[in-house]
Amino acid sequence: MSRYLLDSALAASCLPTAMQTHVRAAFTGRVFEPADLQTAIEEARGLVAKLTAPAVVSGPGAVSHMFSSEDRLQAAVDDLFGAPRIDALANVRVARLSGIRELYLMLTGDHDLHGGFFPGRVQLASTSDFSGLVKNAMNKVVLDQWEKLGKAGYDWWARVAQVEHFNTLNSITGILVGTVGALPTVAEGAAYTELTVGDSPETASFVKYGG
């Protein structure tokens, strides 16, 4: 029974032949407990793992921060306008553009400034057009400036207003408190009249667009 247990355990151990021979020699010809054999096999596996670890071929680490030509171009345009980059492009290294003229000429090939697109002269190929790149950068500039103004105190409205979220698509009715309906026209040399200040009901509707 011990011999049968030894043969079956070593066959299922997936140990190299030399290590199986070593374990077999330690248990052949004697009676042993199954737990002792299992312990010896586990120790043999640990020894084999340590001996073969330096020879294991390790693949490359996780690949991250892959940047396309469009990513690099957008980063260069952001730098040109002083716009903050998105976090994913923070570490992209790009050549600095000398100005918006250089960007326009490299993207359109319009050296004569006729407002056309000349593929044969284009130096920067991109799926994004000139206006799209510039608008993306300018939107970031506006957002960044607004955040700076808010930190400087220009977001005073946030302390006196309450943001409401709606859970239906019904028309919304609100009240503008203490407002002036419309400023009257003042003729040259005429006096400014007193304005009527009051509350004004306003209605807004949700609209869906599509095609």
Give tens-digit pLDDT for 84-126.
888 888 888 888 888 888 888 888 888 888 887 777 777 766 6
The predicted pLDDT at position 58 comes to 58
**Do residues 104 and 121 lie in contact, with contact meaning Cβ atoms separated by under 8 Å?**
no
- Separation between Cα atoms, residue 133 and residue 98, nearest integer Å: 16
pTM tops 0.85, yes or no: no
At 161-173, the pLDDT tens digits run 888 888 888 888 8
Query: Which tens digits make up the pLDDT trace of 32-54?
Result: 788 888 888 888 888 877 777 66
Round to whole Å and give the CA distance between 151 and 87. 21
Cβ(120)–Cβ(111) under 8 Å? no
Evaluate if residue 207 carries a pLDDT over 60.
Answer: yes
Amino acid in the structure at residue 146: W
Q: Give residue 14's region: left, alpha or beta (phi > 0; psi -120 to 50).
A: left
Partnered with residue 198 across adjacent β-strands are 179
More confident position, 59 or 4 = 4
Q: % helix / strand / coil in the chain, to the nearest 5?
A: 45, 10, 45
